[in-house]
Structure 1
């Protein structure tokens, strides 16, 4: 049994000071007030959850789809405190998708913090493609979706698509097969987006980026998700993809329906997605802004320091909120009895001190 005594703990949406925690068999067994309350303590958080990340440690998974690559990505993300993630694939050829899916299928029995795949495309709107390759974008057919999910064999957990260009039967088939659908890279108007959320599309990919904007006579996708009672959205809080003042507005409007993603990529000089690091950001060869260079802890810090978001709300945006979207809030995303002992320890400066995955400490260096 492993114990933490006299430590502040983020649980049930609040910081509880001077707590005692016991961990056994990789799960939290007991949380209560500590007997000794002598010291200024660090803060223990749930491990971070990133539902959209392309790579880490110099490995872009779609460019190097191998067991070695995903293991290196897992290791790096664990060292950063991300204890659960979906590896993301941008719009690409069927051959690349199948190769990446094959690796994840083979790796699944040995995976640790990688929960599966998020397919961001290819069924998006070319008018809002952003850094995605236009030649690979297409409309989905039901037969293609059936074949894709059959080949994926449960590894495809999430998909970003443009609902205004897809048939209702395609969207319903994906929902019936428990794929989390995200409205993104879309030019849907307010009515189309609202209809899609009412149909069952649960969330929105990188809010404000690559979508119809808010205009006073054309409210667009952001207004639709703001107004909807249940639709969620991810957001990239690096100050580059979305200005911090706009992140602040989104957090005030959406509260627990907003969650953080890093959308992080890695330096890559080959293939269709050549990401080049320039001045703390990644761009394509033509200068188009691509993925971020963020970690999840940096995202939390930005929310607190620049977006007028409380620490408790920012932590939830990186933990509990995404866990609820994928219906795993009883297993990950919060520190409660019987949840996985995925823990991040930070000091008062929000600096990373320790990471634990299923109760085992991760070496940070």
Structure 2
């Protein structure tokens, strides 16, 4: 399909353009043109004065619409995640399986492979555990926590067949052989649920770890005599880190301070779960977050548009930068920033339209545009 999206403000990821149009052809961005010189022989789609930005990317989400992937790793759960994220301007997501049995981990990978043959949106599976430090388990189930072995990793990678894209593990429990196996397979290693010392964490970032999971949460903190994992993240110039900008998992001032120190290395995730009363993970909602049966803080109730808005209204970031934290920067983590995260000629036509309050109104994946309400049509 070929069309021209006009009458909108374009947040391209590098600049903000007014009075420009987006030419979409065969699922890609064919051109960005001043409206005055845009061709008039192409189907015109009215952007209705809305803003347009690259599709959002969520690298850590567990459930939506009452379907928790952590408990029911099936196609139905992934379909719920796909609908929910797309509705909220998110064109790519990484379904996350927290610390669980090997059977559940294998099942998550197999279902991911099956789902990707049916429909788009899933970027891969993120295994958060079980190779973590029980001291920093948070809401994870301790009975499943254990140290990794090369044989176990090889079995995971064989079953994954490329579906395992990211793994959160504690640097202090990962042997060099385990790290090497995962990196050889292209798995992004993210330090998290860790009580690592500054030295241990720094060694991890120097030897295969490229990211950190939900900065501040379930990790050794920054202190004067022991900078911990947080200090190592700040200090490692190539380390990227996700953060949950809901004001509960960390104070908005902590987001602001981290942004000043890390700049483009900090990116947004939702860490979103849904209510569940069965299986190993049982959550109930409390305001804008979830807790487990013991009252331990678990996942968030965030969407990425809300996280972006929080970064603008509560952290004080420019909208263009907050948008990059949920699109371009996670694309870089995945090594997909040559295809996703920008409105640029040749890039996949994944984008969303939103109003002045950062509420999603429409989303396009590979150029297929869907308005989210009858009122918007």
TM-score class normalised by the smaller sequence: over 0.9
Q: Is the 8 A contact 1:78 1:362 kept in 2?
A: no
Structure 2 counterpart of 1:99: 107
- 1:255-276 alpha-carbon deviations (Å, 9 max, x no partner): 1000000000011000111010
Task: Give the TM-score normalised by the residue count of structure 2.
Answer: 0.94
Distance 1:253 1:46 in 2: 25
Q: Is the 8 A contact 1:251 1:309 kept in 2?
A: no
Aligned-residue offset at 1:12: 4.2
Distance 1:302 1:12, change over 3 A: closer
Structure 1 counterpart SS, 2:363: strand
Are 1:124 and 2:125 matched, yes or no? no
Distance 2:195 2:65 in 1: 34
Structure 1 counterpart SS, 2:209: coil
Distance 2:288 2:337 in 1: 33
Are 1:185 and 2:193 matched, yes or no? yes
Distance 2:37 2:307 in 1: 33
Q: How many residues align?
A: 364
Q: Is the 8 A contact 2:361 2:371 kept in 1?
A: no
Structure 1 counterpart SS, 2:206: helix
Aligned-residue offset at 1:136: 0.4
Structure 2 counterpart of 1:173: 181
Q: Is the 8 A contact 1:18 1:41 kept in 2?
A: no
Q: What is the correspondence of 1:149-228 to structure 2 with a 5 Å cutoff?
A: 149-228=157-236
Structure 1 counterpart SS, 2:36: coil
Q: Is the 8 A contact 2:89 2:305 kept in 1?
A: yes
Structure 2 counterpart of 1:10: 11
Q: What is the correspondence of 1:43-62 to structure 2 with a 5 Å cutoff?
A: 43-62=51-70
Distance 1:143 1:349, change over 3 A: same
Q: Is the 8 A contact 2:13 2:53 kept in 1?
A: no
Unaligned residue ranges in structure 2 (runs of 5+): 39-46
Structure 2 counterpart SS, 1:202: strand
Q: Which of these residues, 147, 155, 180, is aligned with residue 147 of structure 1? A: 155
Structure 2 counterpart SS, 1:32: strand
Unaligned residue ranges in structure 1 (runs of 5+): none
Distance 1:12 1:53 in 2: 23
Structure 2 counterpart of 1:35: 36
Cα RMSD for the two superposed structures: 1.5
Distance 2:21 2:116 in 1: 34
Task: Give the TM-score normalised by the residue count of structure 1.
Answer: 0.97
Q: Is the 8 A contact 1:26 1:358 kept in 2?
A: yes
Are 1:114 and 2:122 matched, yes or no? yes
Q: Is the 8 A contact 1:79 1:362 kept in 2?
A: no
Structure 2 counterpart SS, 1:110: coil
Aligned-residue offset at 1:36: 8.0
Structure 2 counterpart of 1:286: 294
- 1:231-286 alpha-carbon deviations (Å, 9 max, x no partner): 00000000000000111101111110000000000110001110101222100011
Distance 2:302 2:147 in 1: 31
